[in-house]
């Protein structure tokens, strides 16, 4: 059974199937293939810094090397919090009904977009569908898979359909001068302004 996004509002649940939207689906894609002398496709690989290991695509997802050069499988890795203690994983929200919260459109500007999903209603509450068509936006907790960071989903619609924008909170860094710049210009310039332009 396909995984689903479940949301609930006023005690009524809506269920959606979803498909991820990416640039390739919107605009298509082209892939450059490198061939060897016999016309066979080449496989990308990289040589480790010490020259002892050839690393092929996908190998770094299986395991990592620690500071002493020991091989550590990915399933042995754990997340740590700011104090260095083991962090708890945030469970996946797929298939688990999440409470909707109506928000203003400006709430989206405070977040960094990660991905977009197109939804197909399996069990779509009529009142929710009407509110989405009227331009309302709803926020709910979203996590595709269990990991160490929580994300947010924004449920909205337009004439093309119903969508979920998956986001993370953005924390802008404001820059300012530590001290005001001193005005070093004097009213009387050392340059002679009485230039004769005919001399040029």
* Cα dist from 133 to 29, 57, 112, 113, 126, whole Å: 32, 44, 24, 22, 11
pLDDT score recorded for residue 94: 94
- Average pLDDT per block of 10 residues along the chain, 200 residues long: 87 94 82 88 82 74 68 75 81 94 90 92 92 95 88 94 91 72 60 53
pTM of the complete model: 0.68
Sort residue 122 into left (φ over 0), alpha (ψ -120 to 50) or beta.
alpha
The Cα 85–Cα 73 span in angstroms is 20
H-type alpha helices, 134-176: none
């Amino acid at each position: 059974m396909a995984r689903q996004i479940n949301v609930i509002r006023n005690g009524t649940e809506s269920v959606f199937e979803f498909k991820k939207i990416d640039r390739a689906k919107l605009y298509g894609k082209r892939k450059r293939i490198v061939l060897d002398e016999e016309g066979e496709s080449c496989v990308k690989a990289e040589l480790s810094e010490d020259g002892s290991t050839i690393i092929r695509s996908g190998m770094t997802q299986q395991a990592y090397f620690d500071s002493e050069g020991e091989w550590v499988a990915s399933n042995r890795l754990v997340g740590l919090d700011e104090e260095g203690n083991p962090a708890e994983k945030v469970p996946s929200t797929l298939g688990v009904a999440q409470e909707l919260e109506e928000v203003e459109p400006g709430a989206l500007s405070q977040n960094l977009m990660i991905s977009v999903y197109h939804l197909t209603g399996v069990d779509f509450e009529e009142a929710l569908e009407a509110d989405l068509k009227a331009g309302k936006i709803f926020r709910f907790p979203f996590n595709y898979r269990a990991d160490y960071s929580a994300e947010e989903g924004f449920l909205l619609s337009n004439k093309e359909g119903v969508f979920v924008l998956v986001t993370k909170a953005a924390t802008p860094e404001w820059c300012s001068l530590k001290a005001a710049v001193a005005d070093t210009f004097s009213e009387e310039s050392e340059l002679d302004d009485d230039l004769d332009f005919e001399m040029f």
